[in-house]
Structure formats: C-alpha cells, structure tokens
Structure 1
C-alpha cells in the first residue's frame, strides 16, 4: 500500500507498507523533507512496524514520538504528517494527479443558481458521472450567503441587504456568513471524490484542499497560510474563508466533498457591516476590536486586477495537476434551475433557521 501527504506549506511525506495478519509490515517512510540525524528515519520506520492496522493517527503519532531520539530535528514535516500518510495508505487514498481535472468558468450567474450548481456538480462527482471539478464563480448580483445552520435574523440585516440590492441565500455547507459583490470577491468550488481526502481528519482536509491556492498566492508575492479551521490568512489579515459539505454516493457508497472558498479582492467593509450582523462575541473570538481589521483585500496586497488574479490561480492549478476546460451540461443546468425554484429561492430553505 502506498500513501502520500503533502504538508500544507511544507514537504511531501510518502509511506509504503504492507498489512500481514492485521499488522503493519515492511514500512518505509520517504519524502523530500529534512531530518537529522540520518538514522532517525530508521526509528520512524521501526515505530510503525508491527502496529495494528487499525491504529488511528493519534496512536501512530504517539509511537513515532516515543521512538525518536531527543536530538531528532524534523523540518518540513511532523510526526503527525507521517501518521496521516500511513492512514492514507491504509485507506488507499488517491492523489491530485490521479484525476483528469475539469475547469468550469462561465458567465455571471445568480447567487441562488451558484448554490444549486454546487449541489448538482458535487452530486455528479459522487456518482462518478463527472470528473473532479474546479468551478470559478462569476456573480451577477450582490449577495449575502449564510451557512447551512446559521440563524437568518441573527446573521443578516435584511433592511441593509435590501438597501444594497443584495440577495440573501443559504448554502448547503456550514460555516459563517459572507457578503459578495460581483467585482469585490473571488469565489471558487472544488468538487472532489472522497478518496482524495481519505485518511485525513475533517480539519486536515481543509488544509489539504487549500494548499494549491496558498502556492498560487505565493507566486503573486503573498505569503499566506491556512488558519484553522477554515480561514486563509496573511500577515496583514484574513483574505479568504472556506466551507465544506460531504455528499454521499449512490446506494450509500463513497461520495464526494464540496470545498468552496470566497476570497476578498476589494470588499467594501462598510457595506459588509451594513448587511451582516457581526457580533461582539465573534470579534472577540478573532482577537480584534474592529471587523474592518479582519479582512485585507487581495487588490491592495497584489496590485493586480481581479481578472489577473483569477487567471494566475487557474494557471497555478493547471501547472500542478492538469486542467481541461469544460462546462455545465444541459442536464446539470436543468437540475440546478429546478433546485433554484424548489429550494434556494424558497423561504422554507432560506429561513429554515429563522
């Protein structure tokens, strides 16, 4: 069995192993990381050798920590990442390069239609009828998007939303509310087979699926990092937030993961505060007195146009994993429009948590 795990912001950890009578055998850990002293790699292999195959990541980490000499120095990886690579090997997880990725980047669409397309496309990936897909959104109107479990009246100033012509929609993933305008945000979705994140914890899957965009930002001169649980941050502030939803496959089989991210390109924070109810508790949790300090737009940090930022992000993904241009099929669009009618523009869904 073969498992790989690219540490977000770090190096690649590779594990090859066998399972014999329920125990891990012939374990070999490798990668492009740095480790001193050299013989410490043998200690890592020996720590995993003979472990029960059902040992969880925490148990594997504990075995490795106990076996490493005190003088050991790990750079670009951790004992946690080795444990994750082992679990991914046992889960027969796939790698980004195992797939033929498709790009969808089409004309501006309504907020409700974007919500519906996320659901339809991820369901199609789960069913194996669509390849893993990167969809870059274009908005045709301002929007307030709330998480699946948020209270509508607690999160949105409906009068403020109406003043600014912002449509209020509820997405299928959890997480917090966001305000989007056609020229102020960059939003994308990844619809990926569940096998891509096999062996990863829920939190680890966020960092794993965000890693490519950290590199893309780095190419534009922005030092960015994943900030648990679902933010992308820089030295001067948050630039993006992510959310996820798991979709079960046909007959309860392996499914797919929807991972979507909204990035602040040139957000009008005063307008955002007029439509979102950002309470003192949330601001306190973020360690700042002012909501304005929480978001630092990409336009100021890059000096690039929104279109150029998007183009460079897509190019970065294509260089790393390959990417062919596709489109929403007629059948997918018909199903999405029906979901708009029956769900995403329906008060029963939007106000399901009043």
Structure 2
C-alpha cells in the first residue's frame, strides 16, 4: 500500500507498507524532506511497524515522537504528516487527486441565498448527489454576514446598517463578520468529504484547504501566506479570512472571503468590531488594514476570479457545473424559513 501527503508550505511525505494480522508491517517512509541524523528514518519506520491498522494519525504520530530522541531535526515534515500519509496508504484518508470537483460560478443571487447554499450543497455532497464542490459566490445586494456564534448587537451597528440599506444574516460556520457589497469581495466555498482532512487538526485543515488559493494568489502577483488560525495575509497586510463547518455527515465546509475593494469608511460605520480591531492595532488608515486585492494586483475582480478558477482547474481534476433547480429551491426555502428569520439571526442577540 502506498500513501502520500504534501505538507502545506513543506515537503512531500510518502509511505509504503503492508498489513499483516491487522498490524502495519514493512513500513518504509520516504520523501523530499530533511532529517538529521539519517538514522532517525529507521527509527520512524520501526516505530510504525506493528502499530494497529486502526490507529489514528494522532496515535501514529505519538508513536513516532516517542521513538525519536530530542536531538532529531525534522525539517519540512512532522510525525503528524507521516501519520496522515500512513492513513492515506491504508485508504482511511483521501488526497486531492482522488476526487473530481464540481466548479460553480453562477449568476448573482440574493446574498442570503449564498448563505443557505452553504447548508444545501454539503447535504448534496453527503448524499452522493453531488461531488466535492468549489463555488464562487456572486450576490446582488449589500449584506453583513456574521459568524454562527457572534452577537448581533456586539458586531453590528443596527442604525448604521439601516442607514446604508444593508441587512444582517447569520451563517452556519463560526468566525467573524463579513462586510459584503456587490463587487467588493471574492468569496468561495469548498465542500469536501471528511476523508480529505482525515487526521488533520482543525488548524492543519485550514492550512491544507487554503494551500491552493495561495498558489492562485501568486498567479496574480500577490505573495500570500497562511496565518493561523484562519487568516490569509500578504506583506502589505491581511487579505482575507476562512471559516469552517464540520457536519455530522462527515462533510466539511470551508469558505474564504478576501477583500477586493471595500468601502472602509462604510465598513467601520457598520461593524462595531472593526472599530475595536482598528483601535487595538493602532491603525489610523482603514484602507491600510482592509488591504484590497485591487491595489496589489491592478486587476479587475472578474480577471482575478478567472485566474483563481484557472489555477484550481489546472491543479485538480474538475468539471464545470451549475446549481440544480432543486438545490436553488431548497436554498430559497431555507433562506425564508431560517436565514432571514429573527429566530436564527438573533439567536445570539
């Protein structure tokens, strides 16, 4: 059995093994990583030999860590990375290349419909009616989207919201508020089976699922990096943030919003938390903190999105898709009964 895992920002780890009587045998770890001293590789292999085939990535990593002395240097990989590669060899975890992704870039819709689709699409993936999906949001009205656990009154100035003709919707994932006007952000949702992030901690899964967009940003001239727990930043400042929702069905929703051309004054008028973050960091210029991609690339939002889609299609196996009528109908129902209801929006007043 053979399994591989590419560490985000690091090196490739490969594992070859057999299973005999329910335990790992003949384990051989390889890759383009760095390891000192050389003999530590034999210690890693020996630590894995005899482990139960049901061991989790964390248990495998613990066995490796216990077999290595303090002077061992693992550069570009870790015990956890080896554990994930083992799980992939065993077929317990999958890699990007094991899936064909539906790619959707539809017409602008009511912004709350996009929030509802983030509940509908994972259900379709879990039921097997749709494959793993990457979709770009397009919306036709201004909106503030708050995290699942945020307080409306703590995050949003409701008088300013009304003054600017905006509404507020609560999404199903955690994280912070998104200030969204048509054309001011680039937002995408990635819906994947849990097997793709099997063995990864929450923090590791953020870096793993954000890795492709760092490459896409490089294509448009932005040198970006992942900043734990859920931010994407460049040398000029923060670009965007990610949020996740893990469903009981085993499906994972990972979505990212990146600033393109935000009206910073309006954003700070509407978002209370934005004022606090600005004050805390001693930043006088809102535009400096928002750091829109337009100023870093000189490209239109449409051109950046096309570059992102081209990068994703070039990197993974994909097929173009669109929302199905039944998905839109279900999302419209959820929008009316849940996401635009006071009971859901103000569940944390």
**TM-score normalized by the length of structure 1:** 0.89
CA distance in 1, matches of 2:140, 2:276: 33
Count, aligned residues: 347
Residue 100 of structure 2 aligns with which residue?
A: 100
CA distance in 1, matches of 2:70, 2:63: 14
- Post-superposition Cα deviations, 1:149-201, rounded to whole Å, max 9, x if no partner, equal 11111111111112222221110111111111111100000111122111212
Partners of 1:113 and 1:337 within 8 A in 2:
yes
Residue 125 of structure 2 aligns with which residue?
A: 125
Residue 243, structure 1, aligned to residue 238, structure 2:
no
Partners of 1:88 and 1:199 within 8 A in 2:
no
CA distance in 2, matches of 1:229, 1:283: 19
Q: How does 1:1-354 map to 2 (within 5 A)?
A: 1-36=1-36, 38-53=38-53, 55-65=55-65, 67-68=67-68, 73-90=73-90, 92-249=92-249, 255-278=250-273, 288-290=281-283, 292=286, 293-354=288-349
Once the two structures are overlaid, the 10-residue window that deviates more, 134-143 or 74-83, is: 74-83
- Post-superposition Cα deviations, 1:320-348, rounded to whole Å, max 9, x if no partner, equal 10222111001111111111111111111
1:51 Cα deviation after fit: 3.4
CA distance in 2, matches of 1:281, 1:270: 14
Partners of 2:84 and 2:93 within 8 A in 1:
no
> CA RMSD of the aligned region, Å?
2.4
Q: Which runs of 5+ in 1 are unaligned?
A: 250-254
- Post-superposition Cα deviations, 1:65-124, rounded to whole Å, max 9, x if no partner, equal 454577755443233322332344456111111122111101111111111111111110
Partners of 1:108 and 1:139 within 8 A in 2:
yes
Q: Which runs of 5+ in 2 are unaligned?
A: none
**TM-score normalized by the length of structure 2:** 0.91
Once the two structures are overlaid, the 10-residue window that deviates more, 14-23 or 137-146, is: 14-23
- Go from structure 1 to structure 2 and tell me whether the alpha carbon gap of 1:89 and 1:127 turns closer, same or farther (over 3 Å shift): same
Partners of 2:58 and 2:199 within 8 A in 1:
no
1:271 Cα deviation after fit: 1.5
